[in-house]
Amino acid sequence: MMSVAAARALRDGQLCFVGIGLPSTAANLARRLHAPRLVLIYESGTLDTKPEQLPLSIGDGILAESALTVVSVPEVFNYWLQPGRIDVGFLSGAQIDRFGNINTTVIGDYDAPDVRLPGSGGAPEIAASCREVIVVMRHRRRAFVERVDFVTSVGHGAGPGDRELLGLRGAGPVRVITDLGVLEPDPQTRELVLTSVHAGITMEQARAETGWDLEIAPELEVTAPPSDDELAVLRGMRTVGEPGS
């Protein structure tokens, strides 16, 4: 459901900065169904790649084999990402707060953390410079917190005007897709609001798994379940090495 909801959020003709996992599944599903001119750019430097199967990593050879061209990683960041040429980028994290700030650095105090996480990678640049950011992560109370322990990637800071104050060119997180539903920032407060729940999920369940007083949209929608076409394409996009691939 997360992959399908993320795929539906992508539009034909966009330039999409793709990560491995759910973002890769979503982007390739969208390209096969409703966005045939979606341009997929992977961090490894493959531009307009069209893999027949889902890659195992950003270094998977099928990305280079099916790409229009391959450039260096510095060129991806310096020419494509940082100048704002990418329409949409995907992010995830260990924590996200009410303003869409993401933590992938530490849980607990920075100098003596309970857990030290992998770090930032290219996430801060994606958060800063993509025209739109879509966050995909599982909705759990320990992950959806009032305030992240460390801001690795800036969402909407502390509220309206923070991104502009910091000189960030992108719009920041426009949608947070979880296994329970979809959250979007309020146009005025920039706080994440529950706008849709997936079939079988209630707003009470979403609130119970959120570490702040989650606002609910006045007209809460129910996400349409995956269609037969979406399921068929997903089954056909197995990663190389998976059973039946």
Question: Which amino acid would we find at residue 48?
Answer: D
Tokens of 3: 């992959």
Question: Which amino acid would we find at residue 194?
Answer: L
Tokens of 65: 């084999």
Quote the CA–CA distance of 18 and 234 in Å, as a whole number. 17
Residue 55 C-alpha from the chain's centroid = 17
146 among known catalytic residues: no
CA-based nearest residue to 234, from 53, 92, 51, 35: 53
Q: What is the DSSP letter of 89?
A: E
CA-based nearest residue to 93, from 26, 196, 33, 21: 21
Quote the CA–CA distance of 217 and 196 in Å, as a whole number. 8
Question: Which amino acid would we find at residue 81?
Answer: L
Count CA within 13 A, CB hemisphere, residue 56: 8
Tokens of 11: 């539009």
Which residues carry out catalysis? Answer: 43
